[in-house]
Amino acid sequence: MSALLERIELDEALARAAASSERDLEAESSARRIVANVRSGGDAALRSAGLEFGDLEPEQDLSIERCELEAALARVPPDVRALLERTAARIERFARAQRDALRDFELETEWGRCGQRWVALERAGCYAPGGRYPLPSSVLMTAIPARVAGVRQVLVASPRPNDVTLAAAAVAGADAVLRAGGAQAVAALAYGTGSVPRVDVVVGPGNRFVTAAKRLVAGDVAIDMLAGPSELVVVADATSDPDCIAADLLAQAEHDPRARPILLALDARVADAVERELALQLDTLPTRDVARTALANGFSARCASRADAARLVQALAPEHLEVVCEGASDFAATVDRYGALFLGENGAEVLGDYGAGPNHTLPTGGTARFSGPLGVQTFLVARTWMAGRSNASLTELARDAARLADLEGLAGHARAAHLRAGSRP
């Protein structure tokens, strides 16, 4: 019987990490048609797509307003409301710490003053999946940082939202929920439809059609990232608990048939023990069909040393990195390419997914090499400014600017700089 997690050597794992992911041309073609239709057809096209894909019923409005979100919050059981509010409080606390870390500053110089300030975007569109698994947690993870950033209007889009999703939107401070999913939701948020205002940024995880649509609208609107199938890399040794590792790998695998669960084993014994646990736990997992398919996308790589494991982590740049080996903090200090880091068995990725504080909207597909999690900063832009004073230093600055402009052949720039230097070319 073949292993649930394919056993491969370090060189093969590094080769797989280096292989670039292929563009989903089928999803992009479908998304291109839908985005174009919604962009040109507005509300009518959005409703047509919603009916076609089952986002809403014929008698339903496209948008659910704030008063209805509050009514849904009142309808959910008290324990569910309390759960959403506790989780929201943890996410908000982390988001406020992020915001506090982004400081405006002013710099006094010889020629004058300059500085930078952070300004919130006016509108944000937050996508929350509603297909295989509706994700109210994604509503909290996207809308709360937007509110903490100071975004004036926060819209959530989700197909077929249930009361828990609507209640989460209420707790997160969303202004309305759009009954739309897939590429049509992204297009509606990016371009507006008449009843749906155009936003400044579209964020949130979604399926391949959501990702394809975000690729198409990027540039017309800001996006957080192009998220692909979810990933988890676990670094473990003989001291690690195979039960927890297997549970965490399966938790990741049940997300999506294309998810990638990966084990980096510093000891062959842990790889054997995890394989046994995977088989045992998979047998009783209600989502085992999805999880089994996803396990085939991952692998177990034997790493002869911590240096080898660190090299492979850097090459994979995974969405989630769990380090559960002995000396986890020391190992973590040797790597810096990951979407989110989870240290020790009590720093489980599932706790991050469900609201410990740090965001669960993370870069995938190796893009953690150059990008990071969604956060308050996603909804802010840095604005710089300067104000000069008439003195010798400003004259020197203006003369230098004029000389550089001359070197570049830009006579108009040089003339404008010379005027500030008190001379004419």
pLDDT of amino acid 134:
79
- List every span in the chain annotated with CATH 3.40.50.1980: 25-224, 228-373
pLDDT (average), residues 172-186: 98
Query: Residue positions in the annotated binding site?
Result: 127, 184, 207, 230, 252, 255, 320, 353, 408, 413
The residue ranges of DSSP E strands in 57-200, in sequence order, are: 63-65, 105-108, 112-120, 123-127, 153-157, 176-178
- C-alpha distances in Å from residue 14, one per residue of 7, 23, 319, 345, 417: 13, 21, 17, 26, 53
| Residue 315 pLDDT greater than 70, yes or no | yes
pLDDT (average), residues 292-314: 96
| Residue 179 pLDDT greater than 80, yes or no | yes
What is the tens place of the pLDDT at every residue in 209-232? 999 999 999 999 999 999 889 999
- C-alpha distances in Å from residue 305, one per residue of 240, 267, 269, 301, 423: 16, 9, 14, 12, 67
30 is written with which tokens?
A: 């479908």
pLDDT above 90 covers what percent of the chain?
A: 93
pLDDT above 70 covers what percent of the chain?
A: 99
Q: What are phi and psi of 408, to 5 degrees?
A: -90, 0
- d(CA 423, CA 394) in angstroms, rounded, equals 13
pLDDT of amino acid 279:
96
pLDDT of amino acid 190:
98
315 is written with which tokens?
A: 């090459």
What is the tens place of the pLDDT at every residue in 232-287? 999 999 999 999 999 999 999 998 899 999 999 999 999 999 999 999 999 999 99
Q: What share of residues in the chain are helix, strand, coil (percent, to 5)?
A: 50, 15, 35
Model confidence, pTM = 0.94
- Predicted confidence band at 1 (pLDDT cuts at 50, 70, 90)? low
Query: 141 or 132: which carries more pLDDT confidence?
Result: 141
Residue type, 91: I
- C-alpha distances in Å from residue 2, one per residue of 5, 203, 280, 295: 9, 39, 15, 12
Q: Could you tell me which CATH class the domain 25-224 is placed in?
A: alpha beta
| Residue 200 pLDDT greater than 90, yes or no | yes
Pick the CATH number of 228-373 from 3.30.950.10, 3.40.190.10, 3.50.50.60, 3.40.50.1980: 3.40.50.1980
pLDDT of amino acid 153:
98
pLDDT of amino acid 425:
58
pLDDT of amino acid 424:
62
Q: Could you list the active site residues?
A: 319-320
- Predicted confidence band at 2 (pLDDT cuts at 50, 70, 90)? confident
What is the tens place of the pLDDT at every residue in 55-109? 999 999 999 999 999 999 999 999 999 999 999 999 999 999 999 999 999 999 9
Strand order in the sheet with 123-127: 63-65, 176-178, 153-157, 123-127, 201-203, 222-223
Q: Is the dihedral of CA 42, 43, 49, 53 positive or negative?
A: positive
61 is written with which tokens?
A: 């409005």
Measured in whole angstroms, the distance separating CA 65 from the mean position of its chain's CA atoms is: 26
pLDDT of amino acid 254:
94
- d(CA 198, CA 140) in angstroms, rounded, equals 21
| Residue 422 pLDDT greater than 90, yes or no | no
